[in-house]
Amino acid sequence: MAELSSPLILGDLHLKNRVIMAPLTRSRATDDRVPTPMMAEHYAQRASAGLIISEATVISEAANGYFNTPGLFTDAQVKGWKSVTQAVHDKGGLIVAQLWHVGRVSHPDLLSGDTPVSASSVQQKGQVSLLRPKRDYVVPRALEITEIKTIIEQFKQAAIRAKEAGFDGVELHGANGYLIDQFLQSSTNQREDEYGGSVENRARLLLEVVDALIEVWGAGRVGVHLAPRGDEHDMGDADPRETFGYALEQLGQRKIAFFFTREYLADDSISEYLKARSGGVPYIANMKLSRNDAIALLASGQADAVSFGKAYIANPDLYERLVQDAPLNELVFDNMIGAQTAEGYIDYPTLAESLVAQNAENEVSA
């Protein structure tokens, strides 16, 4: 029976435990999208996780939808990430790079005036995150075939740079309504060429990018991040079981290292079905999991590993706290995203540090 502390093999990745740090956008990179020494400290603090999946990292400047998110398309960015991966490895951790293109989830003000791109010209409802004053998303421009091929190559080049930067593998961000998801789901893909219509065509970009990543890393160091609920950024699909089931079937044939779903537990959850459809690709569960949820998922074999996001923001030693059933630090939302400050980023105490501080306080009180 698998437990939180059980080791796990994901393809070519040998994990010391089954607690995964989810990718978390914090917008602490420089204006040129270069990772900073503070980011290296942040990740190193959390290296007791079985695996760290880096924050979403753009493959080009045109792929961005937020200020100060990191990239993997310049030499300076590679150098910055080297400091991060080295810091994690020095603490005995593993880290993979999550590769990202936001597609329509952007705005001309973030793209030097250019129109965001997508599978089709379907406008997203709502307003652009973090831009002030607030403004609506614009109608995106449908990508031409030649542009799609260019983006696939950019993913491949980012994967090459991830290897140069010392990562242990890569994860494709195919979730949360970003570009890969926009091609996959029927509500945003209204194309009539080889990238639209049937589920086979809508999954084509996902699979072609995965194949490009495998060329660089081998299948055993490539993961895929999916969101079958379609509950982010105005997404939706006519038949999620078939769409995501087909995708997992194809990913299973490629024998990728793992798939990760952002899907809360409910009667209509389909991640367990996706795991079965994949032919056994290891599955990382995520979204609003409690400690008891995580333990039950592992014990039953419904998931191979469990992932936490917000809890890892507030608890650098989350793995140890979960194993010990220790109390967790409360998450402070101030400065969570975008503030170029250590506060709310690298200043959360470990359990040991909290106990030392409490003992010192007790001595003063006595």
Which of the residues are catalytic? 178
Q: How far apart are CA 290 and CA 229, in angstroms?
A: 19
Q: What would the two tokens of residue 355 be?
A: 């106990």
* C-alpha to C-alpha distances, 140 to 137, 143, 182, 198, 234, nearest whole angstrom: 9, 9, 11, 22, 14
Q: What stretch of H or E contains 117?
A: strand 117-118
Cα–Cα distance, 286 to 224 (Å, whole number) = 13
Phi, psi dihedral angles at 290 (to 5 degrees): -90, 170
Which of 46, 96, 45 has its CA nearest to residue 220?
A: 96
Phi, psi of 127 (to 5 degrees): -120, 155
Q: Give the sign of the dihedral formed by CA 119, CA 121, CA 125, CA 129.
A: positive
Separation between Cα atoms, residue 357 and residue 347, nearest integer Å: 14
Query: What element of type H or E holds 307?
Result: strand 305-308
Look at strands 8-10 and 13-15 and give their pairing. Answer: antiparallel
* DSSP H or E run through 172: strand 170-173
